[in-house]
């Protein structure tokens, strides 16, 4: 196709969707028309793929996750479809600069951090590798808050992503489902079988919105299905006619609350009813959708484990286990044992954290009242597991391994007991979950545990984010690495090639200049692109130790104050971090960083040598700008606490040197690149654990 073809498609969209022409359309309308054209191309590609998948009867991957941090899509889709140049020309021919259009798209913040971004990278990767994959999540009206720094402090503002993000979504009003919350369970006998029925429940309608996610070369397409909640019978006409307007509308707004906003916390679990409703809403709608499709394609639910892999990303969607049991038994007539076999063999679970405060435990009363039938099934799973352990003389492990304990439902134990595969996200983390967090359950199910070290979609984080470096790599080793990252090994033969190294240095400097220019434009601040860019970008958490980094910077500051002529490599320390709204300590660290930023900018004696920059509202788009410009990658978590980390991979791939502890995936990076290519320091995870065990905790306070 030529660029004229795409130009014509854009013009037709402008006319068909906005009654506009190139001369009357606003830039925003052109942005939307361009996205709609791409959306159509992806849908057509997806339909072609579906025929192939159905013909071959391929197994499908379903990825359930409360968060997907996809980042902006326009640039990504153009890149993957290989259409950037054509669209650039097509738009230029109607007087529009493509680069300007990119900024019309808000960064959809449907996630907190690493876990949600990993989910998005998987969608890219699955599409690229040709796996038929569907991600399921919630179509939150508001994503993660927009961070503003006011008087050095974080202020949270609502994130309005829908006005520009909605264009990518295809509403599927033909594929909606009902989700029941609350009420009570009534049992009766029917044809000699016990039947369960949830009565008096709130009925929430789940309406799917599909987003197509392109893989490299545009051949594979993953689908991200986002559920929006509304009241099933949105309006009680009788109440309305009686003049009870408020009650008539209340059901609607209560149901809509479920998909209103993403919980902005990733540090500690809170037993909030709305969060539990969100989790069940996601799980129930998604499983009904999976089962309906499976029956359409294969007729027989016994084939589910063969044809579907249902993945629960952390424990947030762990209710998938009892919900699948419910659907198989109550709706499709299976007995317990067959339903359990199907469930365990279909579901797999990834653990993403060992922090005990983040492990989900719901009060039994809450689960019982919100999800009465699900609670019955969870109790039965627990009862059977307990009986099994007692029968084989392993009753002693129940205090750590039972699902119901201390009037709480322990979601991590439910996830292990109900899945056939359980993985951590780096070798170290997978060992810790086997030997620590799930030690006793591991002794019961040793074969279920495995490791899947995290990865990143290098097409986004290298090829798109750093086009100059990607072009240079193409020159050196060809572009095979785009599909197969292991081809990057071929770069090894250039490690002592002076010209290549010089060029690498020039590219880094170009990227630093571009970032400095961006900061100047956005904030008016000037940073020196010739200083060393030392970067720590991640959620603010005590275990990630941003404070330790700050203390180091303060010590430099004091040294320079004492001796302004001290020989010192000029450095710019750049931080990007959001803190959960209620995490007071984290917010104070953000305040400290911002005070230090002001102080280093103000003090003429040191500002040319030492600067601190806090980038407001750190998100995927900012990461794409900053990572290519970074030179030192701060990965300094307390060993044993960071499950994997993924910015460590993104930064290293863009030529930053890691300053890190032996934690998470840093360990594997260190093994691969060697000690001479990474500054590793600090205790190992087991040494840190030993210190904790030895220290008299009371002496700390
Ligand atoms: C936890 C919680 C706790 C309850 C409230 C809501 C909420 C929301 C999200 C989370 C997720 C915490 C787990 C997490 O994000 N882990 C990160 O996962 C990354 C991908 O595997 C990994 O690279 C990071 O090391 C790990 O911290």
Q: Catalytic annotation on 502?
A: no
- Cα-flanking dihedrals φ and ψ of residue 313, to 5°? -90, 100
pLDDT band at 240 (very low <50, low <70, confident <90, very high): low
* Separation of alpha carbons 19 and 629, rounded Å: 42
* Separation of alpha carbons 195 and 84, rounded Å: 57
Angle, helix 84-92 to helix 3-18, in steps of 10 degrees: 60
546 and 679 part of one domain: yes
Q: Catalytic annotation on 72?
A: no
Residue to substitute in 113, 540, 544 for testing ligand 1 pocket (most ligand atoms within 8 angstroms of CB): 113
What pLDDT score was predicted for residue 234?
56
Q: Catalytic annotation on 544?
A: yes
Q: Is residue 49 part of a domain?
A: no
The CA-based angle 666-648-220, given to 5 degrees, is 115
From 434, 451, 468, give the residue that closes a domain: 451
Q: Catalytic annotation on 292?
A: no
Contact 349, 421 (CB under 8 A): yes
324 and 194 part of one domain: yes
254 and 323 part of one domain: yes
503 and 383 part of one domain: no
Residue linked to tokens 């030997």: 435
* Separation of alpha carbons 62 and 459, rounded Å: 22
Contact 625, 631 (CB under 8 A): no
412 touches ligand 1 (CB under 6 Å): no
What pLDDT score was predicted for residue 142?
97
Domain containing residue 479: CATH number? 3.40.50.2000
Number of the ligand 1 atom closest to the C-alpha atom of 642: 25
Asked if pLDDT for residue 146 goes beyond 70, the answer is yes
Q: Which residue among 139, 539, 587, 609 is the active-site one?
A: 539
615 touches ligand 1 (CB under 6 Å): no
Stretch 322-348: mean pLDDT, rounded?
98
453 touches ligand 1 (CB under 6 Å): no
Asked if pLDDT for residue 536 goes beyond 60, the answer is yes
What pLDDT score was predicted for residue 239?
67
Q: Is residue 255 part of a domain?
A: yes
From 422, 451, 480, give the residue that closes a domain: 451
Sheet with 571-576, side-by-side order of all strands: 610-614, 571-576, 532-537, 632-635, 657-661, 679-681
Q: Which residue has the higher pLDDT, 247 or 638?
A: 638
What pLDDT score was predicted for residue 470?
98
CA of 456 to the centre of ligand 1 (A): 16
279 touches ligand 1 (CB under 6 Å): no
* Separation of alpha carbons 665 and 428, rounded Å: 7
Stretch 645-651: mean pLDDT, rounded?
98
Residue to substitute in 452, 537, 541, 643 for testing ligand 1 pocket (most ligand atoms within 8 angstroms of CB): 643
* Separation of alpha carbons 154 and 577, rounded Å: 10
What pLDDT score was predicted for residue 191?
86
Number of the ligand 1 atom closest to the C-alpha atom of 267: 3
362 and 492 part of one domain: no
Q: Is residue 35 part of a domain?
A: no
Q: Is residue 137 part of a domain?
A: yes
424 touches ligand 1 (CB under 6 Å): no
* Length reported for the chain: 701
Instruction: Centre a 10 Å sphere on the Cβ of residue 550 and count the other Cβ atoms it contains.
Output: 19
Enter the tokens of residue 577: 């971090």
473 and 546 part of one domain: yes
Give the model confidence (pLDDT) of 474-533 as tens digits.
999 999 999 999 999 999 999 999 999 999 999 999 999 999 999 999 999 999 999 999
What pLDDT score was predicted for residue 695?
77
Residue 528 sits in which domain range? Answer: 458-700
What pLDDT score was predicted for residue 388?
98
pLDDT more than 70, % of the chain = 98
Q: Which residue among 544, 578, 609, 611 is the active-site one?
A: 544
What pLDDT score was predicted for residue 490?
97
Contact 532, 632 (CB under 8 A): yes
**Exposure letters 67-95 (e unless 16+ CB within 10 A, then b):** bbbbbbbbbbbbbbbebbebbbebbeeee
* Separation of alpha carbons 513 and 540, rounded Å: 27
Number of the ligand 1 atom closest to the C-alpha atom of 425: 21
pLDDT band at 306 (very low <50, low <70, confident <90, very high): very high
645 touches ligand 1 (CB under 6 Å): yes
H-helix segments, 224-371: 237-241, 245-256, 273-298, 304-307, 320-326, 336-346, 364-370
Task: Quote the pTM value.
Answer: 0.96
From 451, 473, 508, give the residue that closes a domain: 451
Q: For the chain, what is the domain count? A: 2
Reduced to 3 states (helix: H, G, I; strand: E, B; else coil), residue 409 is strand
Q: Is residue 651 part of a domain?
A: yes
Enter the tokens of residue 150: 């006011």
Contact 92, 472 (CB under 8 A): no
Taking all residues of the chain, what is their mean pLDDT, rounded to a whole number?
A: 95
* Separation of alpha carbons 571 and 533, rounded Å: 6
Asked if pLDDT for residue 665 goes beyond 80, the answer is yes
Q: Is residue 96 part of a domain?
A: no
Contact 461, 653 (CB under 8 A): yes
510 and 403 part of one domain: no
648 touches ligand 1 (CB under 6 Å): no
Q: Catalytic annotation on 646?
A: yes
CA of 621 to the centre of ligand 1 (A): 20
pLDDT band at 244 (very low <50, low <70, confident <90, very high): confident
* Separation of alpha carbons 432 and 354, rounded Å: 8
Residue linked to tokens 């130790």: 545
Contact 444, 60 (CB under 8 A): no
* Separation of alpha carbons 332 and 339, rounded Å: 10
For the chain, the distance separating the N- and C-terminal CA atoms, rounded to the nearest angstrom, is 69
- Cα-flanking dihedrals φ and ψ of residue 130, to 5°? 80, 20
CA of 359 to the centre of ligand 1 (A): 10
Asked if pLDDT for residue 238 goes beyond 80, the answer is no
579 and 694 part of one domain: yes
In this structure, the strands spanning 408-410 and 308-313 are: unpaired
418 and 505 part of one domain: no
CA of 66 to the centre of ligand 1 (A): 11
* Separation of alpha carbons 185 and 202, rounded Å: 13
Q: Which residue among 538, 578, 611, 641 is the active-site one?
A: 538
Reduced to 3 states (helix: H, G, I; strand: E, B; else coil), residue 328 is helix
Asked if pLDDT for residue 208 goes beyond 90, the answer is yes
Enter the tokens of residue 151: 């008087």
Q: Is residue 51 part of a domain?
A: no
CA of 323 to the centre of ligand 1 (A): 23
Asked if pLDDT for residue 211 goes beyond 60, the answer is yes
Number of the ligand 1 atom closest to the C-alpha atom of 350: 21
Least confident of 51-55, 331-335, 403-407: 51-55
What pLDDT score was predicted for residue 496?
96
CA of 112 to the centre of ligand 1 (A): 8
Residue to substitute in 64, 265, 266 for testing ligand 1 pocket (most ligand atoms within 8 angstroms of CB): 266
CA of 255 to the centre of ligand 1 (A): 27
Q: Which residue among 128, 315, 346, 646 is the active-site one?
A: 646
pLDDT band at 698 (very low <50, low <70, confident <90, very high): low
* Separation of alpha carbons 573 and 555, rounded Å: 13
What pLDDT score was predicted for residue 235?
58
Q: Is residue 327 part of a domain?
A: yes
Instruction: Centre a 10 Å sphere on the Cβ of residue 123 and count the other Cβ atoms it contains.
Output: 27
Q: Catalytic annotation on 148?
A: no
Stretch 627-642: mean pLDDT, rounded?
98
559 and 430 part of one domain: no
Asked if pLDDT for residue 581 goes beyond 80, the answer is yes
What pLDDT score was predicted for residue 233?
72
Give the model confidence (pLDDT) of 61-119 as tens digits.
999 999 999 999 999 999 999 999 999 999 999 999 999 999 999 999 999 999 999 99
Stretch 641-656: mean pLDDT, rounded?
98
61 and 143 part of one domain: yes
410 and 493 part of one domain: no
Reduced to 3 states (helix: H, G, I; strand: E, B; else coil), residue 619 is coil
Q: What residues form DSSP beta bridges with 308?
A: 60
What letter does residue 327 receive in the DSSP assignment? I
CA of 108 to the centre of ligand 1 (A): 18
């Amino acid at each position: 196709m030529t660029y004229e073809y795409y130009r014509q498609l854009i013009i037709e969209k402008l006319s068909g969707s906005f009654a506009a022409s190139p001369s009357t359309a606003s830039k925003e309308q052109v942005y939307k028309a361009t996205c709609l054209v791409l959306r159509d191309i992806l849908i057509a590609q997806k339909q072609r793929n579906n025929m192939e998948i159905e013909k071959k009867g391929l197994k499908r991957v379903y990825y359930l996750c409360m968060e997907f941090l996809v980042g902006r899509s326009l640039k990504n889709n153009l890149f993957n479809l290989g259409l950037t140049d054509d669209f650039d020309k097509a738009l230029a021919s109607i007087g529009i600069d493509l680069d300007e259009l990119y900024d019309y798209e808000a960064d959809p913040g449907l996630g907190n951090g690493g876990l949600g971004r990993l989910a998005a990278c998987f969608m890219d990767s699955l599409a690229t590798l040709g796996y038929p994959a569907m991600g399921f999540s919630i179509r939150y009206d508001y994503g993660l808050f927009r961070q503003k720094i006011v008087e050095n402090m974080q202020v949270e503002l609502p994130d309005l992503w829908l006005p520009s993000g909605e264009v990518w979504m295809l509403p599927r009003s033909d594929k909606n489902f009902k989700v029941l919350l609350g009420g009570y369970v009534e049992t009766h006998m029917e044809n000699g079988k016990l039947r369960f029925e949830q009565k008096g429940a709130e009925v929430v309608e789940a309406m799917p919105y599909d987003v197509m996610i392109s893989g490299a070369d545009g051949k594979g397409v993953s689908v991200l299905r986002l559920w929006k909640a509304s009241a099933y019978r949105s309006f009680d006409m009788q109440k309305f006619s009686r003049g009870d307007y408020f009650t008539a509308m209340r059901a609607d707004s209560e149901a809509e609350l479920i998909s209103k906003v993403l919980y902005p916390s990733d540090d500690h679990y809170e037993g909030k009813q709305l969060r539990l409703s969100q989790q069940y809403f996601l799980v129930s709608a998604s499983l009904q959708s999976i089962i309906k499709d499976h029956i359409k394609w294969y007729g027989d639910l016994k084939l589910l484990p063969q044809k579907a892999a249902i993945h629960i990303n952390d424990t947030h969607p762990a209710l998938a286990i009892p919900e699948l049991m419910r659907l198989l038994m109550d709706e499709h007539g299976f007995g317990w044992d067959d339903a359990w076999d199907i469930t365990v063999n279909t579901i797999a679970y990834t653990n993403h954290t060992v922090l005990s405060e983040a492990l989900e435990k719901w009060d039994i009363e809450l689960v019982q009242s919100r999800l009465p039938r699900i609670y019955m099934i969870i109790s039965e799973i627990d009862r059977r597991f307990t009986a099994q352990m007692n029968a084989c003389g392993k009753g002693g492990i129940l205090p750590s391994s039972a699902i119901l304990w201390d009037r709480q439902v322990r979601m991590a134990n439910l996830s292990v007991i109900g899945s056939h595969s359980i993985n951590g996200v780096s070798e170290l983390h997978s060992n810790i979950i086997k030997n620590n967090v799930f030690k006793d359950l591991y002794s019961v199910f040793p074969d279920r545990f495995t490791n899947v070290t995290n990865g990143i979609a290098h097409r986004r984080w290298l090829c798109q984010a750093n086009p100059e470096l990607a072009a240079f790599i193409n020159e050196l080793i060809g572009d095979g690495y785009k599909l197969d990252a292991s081809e990057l090994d071929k770069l090894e033969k250039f490690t002592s090639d002076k010209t290549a190294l010089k060029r690498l240095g020039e590219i880094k400097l170009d990227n630093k200049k571009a970032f400095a220019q961006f900061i100047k434009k956005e904030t008016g601040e000037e940073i020196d692109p010739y200083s060393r860019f030392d970067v720590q970008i991640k959620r603010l958490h005590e275990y990630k130790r941003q404070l330790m980094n700050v203390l180091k910077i303060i010590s430099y500051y004091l040294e320079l104050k004492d001796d302004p002529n001290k020989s010192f490599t000029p450095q710019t320390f750049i931080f990007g971090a959001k803190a959960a709204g209620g995490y007071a300590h984290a917010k104070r660290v953000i305040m400290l960083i911002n005070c230090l930023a002001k102080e280093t900018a103000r003090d003429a004696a040191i500002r040319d040598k030492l600067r601190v920059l806090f980038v407001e509202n750190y998100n995927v788009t900012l990461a794409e700008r900053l990572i290519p410009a970074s030179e030192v990658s701060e990965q300094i978590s307390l060993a044993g606490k960071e499950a994997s980390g993924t910015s460590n991979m993104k930064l290293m791939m863009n030529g930053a040197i890691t300053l890190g502890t032996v934690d998470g995936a840093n360990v594997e990076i260190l093994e691969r690149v060697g000690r001479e290519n990474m500054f590793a320091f600090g205790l190992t995870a087991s040494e840190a654990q030993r210190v904790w065990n030895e220290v008299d905790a009371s002496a700390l306070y």
